[in-house]
Amino acid sequence: DSGVTQTPKHLITATGQRVTLRCSPRSGDLSVYWYQQSLDQGLQFLIQYYNGEERAKGNILERFSAQQFPDLHSELNLSSLELGDSALYFCASSEGGTLPDEQFFGPGTRLTVL
Amino acid sequence: AQTVTQSQPEMSVQEAETVTLSCTYDTSESNYYLFWYKQPPSRQMILVIRQEAYKQQNATENRFSVNFQKAAKSFSLKISDSQLGDTAMYFCAFGLGAQKLVFGQGTRLTINP
* Mean pLDDT, rounded, for A93-104: 83
How far does the CA of residue B10 sit from the closest CA of chain A (Å)?
A: 12
- Inform me whether the C-beta atom of residue B102 falls under 8 Å from chain A C-beta atoms: yes
The string of pLDDT tens digits covering residues B18-74 is 999 999 999 998 889 999 999 999 999 999 999 999 998 999 999 999 999 999 999
How far does the CA of residue B74 sit from the closest CA of chain A (Å)?
A: 18
pLDDT value of position A98: 66
Asked if pLDDT for residue A99 goes beyond 80, the answer is no
Asked if pLDDT for residue B97 goes beyond 90, the answer is no
Three-state SS for A98? coil
Residue B47, beta-bridge partner list:
B37
The string of pLDDT tens digits covering residues A44-68 is 999 999 999 999 999 899 999 999 9
* Mean pLDDT, rounded, for A89-94: 96
**Which residues of B are less than 8 Å from A48 in CB distance?**
99-100
- Inform me whether the C-beta atom of residue B1 falls under 8 Å from chain A C-beta atoms: no
Q: Determine the Cα–Cα distance for residues A72 and A103; give it in Å rounded to an integer.
A: 15
Q: Determine the Cα–Cα distance for residues B5 and B2; give it in Å rounded to an integer.
A: 10
**A42–B106 C-beta distance less than 8 A:** yes
pLDDT value of position B107: 97
